[in-house]
Chain A
Amino acid sequence: MNDAVASFDIGAEIAGPVRLMTAERIEWYDSAMLSAGKGELSQVGVNIHTDDEYAKAQGLPAIIADGMIMTNWCSSMMIQHFGMDYLEHGELRTKFIKPVYLGQTVHVRGRVLSADRSDGGVSYALDVWCEDENGIKVTDGDAKVEVRRR
């Protein structure tokens, strides 16, 4: 990717990755989070994201994906479209409104709600969300980013 940021009109739609939720993706995330926290390669243990029996004992119907996987995919979409501006003065909120189970396909989407232009650049507000293969929202959210004139 490069650091060039496109200009968006109100109502413009952006898209992030489309990915199947697999046990491997859940394990990749959970182990990576643990490794990043510890500063050494680590393997996630039993939890509601990795062990069906444990998840059921906690009252869940089955393993659920960690919501931060969807957050990260939304964040990737923001990086892809807004580059350093998102990292320097961006904002992302995600709410995990429905669980994501193994075998669901996650579509990451965004829509520009406002674009306030000034001499300094443009301030965007967006809806961001993840939906499943049936178009049902599983993660809801919003984002803001100031794209500054460089």
Chain B
Amino acid sequence: MLGGTIGDLEAGDEFEPVEYELTAFMCREYAHGVEENCEWFHSPLAPGGRQIRPPTMIHVDKMRILERNCLKERRMSGEAAPDARVHYEYHARQHSPAYVGERLVVSGRITDRYVKRGRTYIDYYLEVRTSDGRLVTTYTDKTLLKYAVEQELAA
């Protein structure tokens, strides 16, 4: 169910897309935070003379689309749910680089929700395109909704 917390998401939920302009600050700050020193992500000293978005920033887009679609758990706004989510798997395919100044559209859905060894997981499919339709990144993700199983928390 959209509109609640991440824990309310169900298989088949289709996210409302998010569109934003990729800025030099976003790319630089992210690259700096992960000690990615390749200059391509910090300035226009890159192939083609345009600053490039770090390919792993799809994970920021996941946070961005959750912010739009899970109104009771918005990490960017400092609004947490009782249970911390634990990321389990990242899988990104790069189709073309995204450049600073481009407008990007993030869309996607929940593809599965299941219980494994007493813990609940959700699977995401996300994609990022430029506003004129060029495919940038496709992404799947597995996230554990809550680390502790109930009896562990009670112990």
Contacts and interface: CB of A to CB of B under 8 A. Distances in A.
Q: Is the interface of A mostly helix, strand, loop or mixed?
A: helix
Interface residues of B, number: 49
Interface stretch (B1-9, B59-67, B107-115, B123-131): B59-67
B33 A29 contact: yes
Interface in B22-42: 23, 25-27, 29-30, 32-36, 38-39
Contacts, number: 139
Nearest to B59: A68
A58 interface: yes
A87 B76 contact: no
Contacts of A66: 87
Interface in A72-86: 72-73, 75-76, 79-80, 84, 86
A116 B100 CA distance: 33
A41 interface: yes
A32 B94 contact: no
Contacts of A75: 36, 54-56
A47 B63 CA distance: 15
Contacts of A47: 80, 84
Q: Is the interface of B mostly helix, strand, loop or mixed?
A: mixed
A37 B67 contact: yes
B141 to A, nearest CB: 10
Contacts of B60: 33, 36-37
B16 interface: no
Contacts of A28: 32-35
A71 B39 CA distance: 19
Given A28-B33, A68-B90, A96-B88, A37 B64 contact: yes
Nearest to A49: B84
